[in-house]
Structure 1
Amino acid sequence: MQHASEPPYQRIVTRIRAAIAAGELRPGDRVPSTRELMRTYGVAMATATKALTALRTEGLVEPHPGTGTVVARRRPQPRTADEPATVDRLVATAIRLADTEGLTAVSMRRLGAVLGMPTMTLYRHVTNKEELLLLMTDAAFAEAPIPPPERLSGWRASLATSARLQWGVYRRHPWVAEVMSFTRPPMAERAMAHTEWNMAVLERAGLTLPVAMRATMMLANHVRGTAVNLEWEANAEQDTGVDNVEWFTAQEARFARIVAGGAFPTFTRLAALGGEAVEYDLNTLFEFGLERLLDGLSALIDGA
């Protein structure tokens, strides 16, 4: 019997898990897609996606190119008593590698070498790299918890606080921007807490829930979209040994030649201003964009 308070996604997980245990779904068999789950169970796409993610996290299903999601051919190994500590160490090591060398440095083989563990042993603790990235993302956002409501005043301060906390995560861990897809978002609980918080704030401010959701995605996409450049900048500097200031200095002669012909008069006038007028960095762009988005939401909320 299902508990009355069981969330809809867990109901789906329970039924598919039982079908796998009973042999009704065998290794390699295709499991229902997101849209099929939506039709069968009458749930939203987010609920269906969460159910499939939970099954992947348990190691019961896995993605298969050209087929979709299938029952895992390799069943998860029994968990040991020291698993939580081992998983924490694995995730922390993966984050250190990603922070210092980029996301491409994170592989099970590399992690096994760093931890002094056979590569296949790692699969006793995480099902695959997708689950590892999910755990890494969740751990990164654990560094930026939402503050208690009583410490904030009004919707604008609440949204700005969340956005700046997210920006801080990306600044410390630039690789997170690559993981945080908006078409297939990772079900990282602590990242989802920011989405939940912002939607609730905007709904209380007077927006309908669908509009609050779109506004929340707009803000998150501004933060993530700006942060994508952090990883690119770090990789470029690592590959060339030249930082951004040095790179721009090296481009001055080329810039002067391009604008000398008069085809770019606005660029020419901007360059003539000099100083802070033409200097910018990602923090400046992030803050400017955030304030303008909040200005726009203010007009939307006032209209509502």
Structure 2
Amino acid sequence: MRRPDADPPYLRIVAEIKRQVQDGELRAGDRVPSTRQAAARWGVAAATAAKALESLRREGVVVAIPRVGTVVADTAPRAPRSAPPAPATAGGKERERVVRAAIAIADAGGMEAVSMRGVATALDIPTMSLYRHVRGKEELAVLMADTAFGELRLPAVLPPGWRARLELLARLQWRMYGRHPWLPRLVSLTHPQPLPNLVGLGERALGVLADLGLEPRQAMLVWWTVANYVRGTAFNLEQQAESEQHTGLSADEWHLAHLPVFRAGLPSGRLPAPPPHGGPGPGGTAFDLTEFFEFGLRLTLDGIAVLVGRSRRDDH
């Protein structure tokens, strides 16, 4: 009879993780060891650990979520991928409490800090009870994103003019990303989740552009361009917060502290000198991400204005 320890090392890792899943030690949404952690835990080469995780992925035991890690897959029946999960409020107040607790954890420590166990601890409830409200971390992340977009409140009366309206929509998103720096990573341009609140925002934006005489496809591309500019710039918010925590320096302080190094790399002397008081100011190197956002937004809208003007000329 073949002894268990005669199996290839990667299969022993596969069998152990499967056992933990079957015994309930690992639940849907829980992280499994990374390649490096698995290699250290089982005393194998990194390639062997990677082969074990790949085998588990092929069998559907685990799933890799970008920037989250490899987690236990939801083995319960799922709705089709095209169907979004129900809004956080659809599951009642308890489900909304779960989502709000996860958002609070992410606001404080980023998405890496969010786990089913962590949310359960914050709510002082058993981890397994969370699965009555969400199917795992993947669905929880989607609900967090939709709830965050639900905080974006548009005024009943929008300002006159397409440009002022797009500026308003862009700035409201910017402020929302500022409250939730983890949110941009959960929004995809190429694989968007049909989140009710996000879809509602897009509908309002397309309404703003409806009277400009653009083709429907052009109007949609214009809105995607604006929304993705905001999201792309907002990716820096989370990195800025992490860098400030790691270095103890604000963006301004970092730029000013490294000015000699930057200037040494530009013998031409084209790098502007800092203001006399050593802080932000005209000609200084201090960096303000919101100022950068506003500058880029103006350039983006200037380009859209050219497109709108050209479209109107073509109609006459």
**Deviation by residue 1:34-64 (Cα, 9 ceiling, x = unmatched):** xxxxxxxxxxxxxxxxxxxxxxxxxxxx997
Aligned to 2:138: 130
Q: Give me the whole-angstrom Cα distance separating, in 1, the residues matched to 2:98 and 2:63.
A: 27
**Deviation by residue 1:166-193 (Cα, 9 ceiling, x = unmatched):** 0111011111111112122222211222
1:73 matched to 2:56? The reply is no
Cα distance change, pair 63–145 in 1 and its aligned pair in 2 (3 A): farther
Contact 1:177 1:227 in 2 (8 A): yes
Contact 2:174 2:230 in 1 (8 A): yes
Q: Give me the whole-angstrom Cα distance separating, in 1, the residues matched to 2:155 and 2:181.
A: 23
Query: Structure 1 residue 96: deviation in Å?
Result: 0.7
Q: Give me the whole-angstrom Cα distance separating, in 2, the residues matched to 1:194 and 1:218.
A: 14
**What is the CA RMSD across the aligned residues, in angstroms?**
2.5
Tell me the SS of whatever aligns to 1:135: helix
Q: Give me the whole-angstrom Cα distance separating, in 2, the residues matched to 1:217 and 1:104.
A: 28
Q: Give me the whole-angstrom Cα distance separating, in 1, the residues matched to 2:234 and 2:162.
A: 23
1:276 matched to 2:278? The reply is no
1:242 matched to 2:252? The reply is no
More helix by share: 1
Q: Give me the whole-angstrom Cα distance separating, in 2, the residues matched to 1:73 and 1:145.
A: 37
Contact 2:263 2:269 in 1 (8 A): no
Contact 2:251 2:288 in 1 (8 A): no
Query: Structure 1 residue 151: deviation in Å?
Result: 3.5
1:101 matched to 2:101? The reply is no
User: Which protein shows a greater Rg?
Assistant: 2
Aligned residue runs from structure 1 range 142-153, under 5 A = 142-148=150-156, 150-153=157-160
Equivalent position to 1:201, from 181, 205, 208 = 208
Structure 2 unaligned segments of length 5 or more: list them. Answer: 1-59, 65-72, 79-89, 312-316
Equivalent position to 1:182, from 149, 172, 189 = 189
Aligned residue runs from structure 1 range 18-57, under 5 A = none
Query: Structure 1 residue 115: deviation in Å?
Result: 1.2
Equivalent position to 1:294, from 277, 298, 301 = 301
Q: Give me the whole-angstrom Cα distance separating, in 2, the residues matched to 1:140 and 1:73.
A: 27
TM-score, normalised via structure 2 length: 0.66
Contact 2:159 2:165 in 1 (8 A): yes
TM-score, normalised via structure 1 length: 0.69
Aligned to 1:41: none
Aligned to 1:23: none
| Percent identity over paired residues | 39
Query: Structure 1 residue 89: deviation in Å?
Result: 0.8
Q: Give me the whole-angstrom Cα distance separating, in 1, the residues matched to 2:96 and 2:63.
A: 30
Q: Give me the whole-angstrom Cα distance separating, in 2, the residues matched to 1:297 and 1:139.
A: 30
| 2:192 aligned partner, one-letter code | P
Q: Give me the whole-angstrom Cα distance separating, in 2, the residues matched to 1:75 and 1:121.
A: 18
1:91 matched to 2:103? The reply is no
Aligned pair count reads 228
| 2:178 aligned partner, one-letter code | R
Contact 1:179 1:186 in 2 (8 A): no
Equivalent position to 2:270, from 266, 269, 283 = 266
Contact 1:102 1:235 in 2 (8 A): no
Q: Which segments of structure 1 move beyond 4 Å, counting only runs of 4 or more?
A: 62-66
